[in-house]
Chains A and B, each alone.
Chain A
Amino acid sequence: MTEPLPAIPPRRRGGRGAVAARFAAHRGAVAGLLVLAAIVALTLFGPLLHRIDPQYLDYLDRNQGMSWKHPLGTDNLGRDLLAQVLSGGRVSLAVGTSAMLLGLALGTLVGVLAGFVRWLDGPLMRLVDLFLALPLLPLLLVVIMLFRDSLRAAFGPETGIFLLIVFVIGVTSWMQTARIVRGEVLALREQEYVLAARAIGTRPRRIVTRHILPNVLSPIVVSAALGVANAILLESALSFLGLGFPSDFPTWGRLLFDGVNFMSLHPTRVIWPGLAISLTVLSVNYIGDGLRDAMDPRGDLPPIAGGARRNRRGRLGVLLATRRNGRRVLQGKGE
């Protein structure tokens, strides 16, 4: 079970430099950062090197395996899979990140308000319950139906649908974060150091930003990692239902679902986009892990069992939970 302990870094001075140094000492996090950077770089610059139009239909080269011309093969219409994965990555990553940020911001705001302002707690938590009880997919369907055309008209087909999807995903995925943050805030506000801060006359807002939020950071970071993954998967589900991006506008989820029907004959069609999603989620998780440890100044000391690191949840666990959530969302589609 126990990994070998990393070499104990020498004590360092405080401040931002120290956070960066501790992050750099976390091998998994550095690896995650490298992988994620590679994925981002590939999606941004890959199309410049691999110059095949992802939408080009090459009927003669349908359902190809890996080759020099089509490194990842082609789909049933002869489109180049690598080109599709690369350009799909841009959209998926952009949707995932933006929706996660929106959900995180909403969730943190609601969680802090509920935890800190006593009279808001009840109403806000009922709101969370309400959102959790809403049947997600039918709701998304209705919202998208209602607003798609007007947004398209206002921002153009692609930006319009992008904004809409980010909005619906963000607005329906903040509840878990809100609950986690509220719980942490409630626990933190009973901490003696919060009392001590009140006793020296610190303003409530400053107590939140200086004493509560930094200490809530680790659960927020974990939720962020989950959030990106969930957003990518949710976007896939929507694309699958024809409510996401148009079909000539691939995303990882879209590719995955397009490939599902051909899975037994051409498994690579789901493997590549699936791998892209998994690698992204995994590296985000590792980065989150490293950030959490780096932001805890006690990280200078050799790791102690439990204590500061009690939050460390197996990365695999996070990933599996993500998958489970994703599957739940996807299964909603059949109903």
Chain B
Amino acid sequence: MPDGAAPILEVRDLAAVYRTRDAVVHAVNGVSFTLGRGEVLGLVGESGAGKSAAMLALLGLLPARSASVVGGQVLFDGDDLLRATPERLRRLRGSEFGYVFQDPATSLNPVLSIGHQLAEPLRVHRGLSRRAARAGAAELLALVGIPDPKRRLEQYPHQFSGGQRQRVMIAMALACKPRVLIADEPTTALDVTVQAQILELLRDLRRQLGMAVIWITHDLGVIAGIADRVIVMYAGRIVEQAPVRALFADPRHPYTRALLAALPRPDGPREARLRAIPGQPPRLETLTGDCPFRPRCARAFDRCAGPRPELRPVGPEHRAACHLVPDPAETAHA
């Protein structure tokens, strides 16, 4: 770390697979990054890049029947979460780690009241009584800006709008003031005004609680507004990581460039997002040894047929995995 502060979370070579009936899907293939205290780290990449899989893997939340972590380390407070007992992981989840899921429509149990679900983390981790947890739940609802919290606590998820459910999910994740919040596309299902409100809310909370945030999104516009640093994932790997300004000012990986080129201009149509890159991401069942972006890369050259490029430094805290970036080992030789 540049300022000498120890990171709160350090992920090394994380790898995870999904097993389907007849294939192994290599969803996460050696992801390494650090997360500083109070830092907001943006995680972007196309659908299927392995963003959710990586985050689920690091908290042991992958479905046990169909997926497994196949390697790596996740260092938090000096221990490796991948080797922690289920009980220790359970204690960390919800208290030190908050997780906001991608889909607010299905992340709340339809048959339990909102109050019950919001009180759950308080009861589990704080051991609060039913009554105290309920009071806490009301405060949380107020915190995420839902009016008339006492009455709303009695209601069920179907009586909340999509945006309100998303806020409830955020409130649940924040209930125990976690040190790390993982937010998996917390705003995609929302309309623009609600998105802006939630972004504002999280900015506030981050200031107040000093928590670190990993923010997964498709929307580079959101990243520009909130993140300190950005990780770009492609086919289960990090292809570029950089401070947010450097990434927007000087993207080095052709994939990142394509993403940025696909960004809507203020005067352009709003809907042009990541989908605008031609071609398909590679099949994760059968990954080859060369650069995974090669079939879609406009700047591919002869070396790209060779072994896959590793992440190489291109600037302060800025690294990219592309043969266009000079290999420091080779330049040292020359």
A residues neighboring B (CB under 8 Å): 11, 13-15, 118, 190-193, 195-203, 206, 210-211, 214-215, 295-298, 300-301
Contact = CB atoms under 8 A, between A and B. Distances in A.
Contacts of B169: 196
Contacts of A190: 63
Interface string B128-170: 0000000000000000000000000011101100000000010
Contacts of A214: 111-112
A206 B125 CA distance: 13
A299 to B, nearest CB: 10
A15 B63 CA distance: 32
Given A196-B101, A200-B175, A191 B106 contact: yes
B93 interface: yes
Contacts of B97: 199
A71 B95 CA distance: 70
Kindly name the residue among A14, A295, A298 whose own CB sees the greatest number of chain B CB atoms within 10 A: A14
A120 B169 CA distance: 33
Contacts of A211: 109, 112
A201 B63 contact: no
B65 to A, nearest CB: 7
A200 B158 contact: no
Given A14-B154, A214-B112, A296-B111, A200 B103 contact: no
A197 B109 contact: yes
A298 B110 contact: yes
Given A14-B154, A195-B61, A201-B94, 4 more contacts: A193-B106, A196-B107, A198-B61, A200-B93
A304 to B, nearest CB: 11
A296 B94 CA distance: 27
Kindly name the residue among A11, A203, A210 whose own CB sees the greatest number of chain B CB atoms within 10 A: A210
A200 B172 contact: yes
Interface size class of B (residues with CB under 8 A): 35 or more
Nearest to A206: B124
Nearest to B151: A13
B101 A201 contact: no
A118 B68 CA distance: 14
A86 B54 CA distance: 66
Contact of B110 (A15, A118, A297): A297
Interface string B63-77: 111000000000000
Contacts, number: 92
The interface residues of chain A, by DSSP majority, are classed as helix
B93 A199 contact: yes
Given A192-B106, A215-B111, A201 B124 contact: yes
B61 A201 contact: no
Given A191-B106, A192-B106, A202 B124 contact: yes
A200 B174 CA distance: 10
B90 A199 contact: no
A209 to B, nearest CB: 11
B75 to A, nearest CB: 20
Interface in B43-70: 59, 61, 63-65
B92 interface: yes
A20 to B, nearest CB: 15
A215 B111 CA distance: 7
B120 to A, nearest CB: 6
A192 B101 contact: yes
30 contacts: A13-B155, A14-B154, A14-B155, A14-B156, A118-B64, A192-B101, A193-B107, A195-B61, A195-B63, A196-B99, A196-B101, A199-B93, A199-B94, A199-B97, A200-B93, A201-B90, A201-B92, A201-B93, A201-B94, A201-B121, A202-B94, A203-B90, A211-B109, A211-B112, A214-B111, A297-B111, A297-B156, A297-B158, A298-B110, A298-B158
Shortest 3 CB-CB distances between A and B: which pairs? A201-B94, A200-B94, A199-B99
B169 to A, nearest CB: 7
Interface in B81-104: 90-95, 97-99, 101, 103
Contacts of B113: 14-15, 297
Contacts of A201: 90-95, 121, 124-125
Contact of A193 (B65, B90, B108, B154): B108
A294 to B, nearest CB: 11
A215 B175 CA distance: 25
A14 B158 CA distance: 12
B89 to A, nearest CB: 9
B127 to A, nearest CB: 12
Contacts of B158: 297-298, 300-301
B107 A192 contact: yes
Contact of B103 (A192, A197, A203, A300): A192
Contacts of A191: 106
B15 interface: no
Contacts of B124: 200-203, 206
A84 B63 CA distance: 57
B11 interface: no
B173 interface: yes
Contact of A197 (B91, B120, B154, B159): B120
A15 B156 CA distance: 10
Contact of A199 (B59, B63, B156): B59
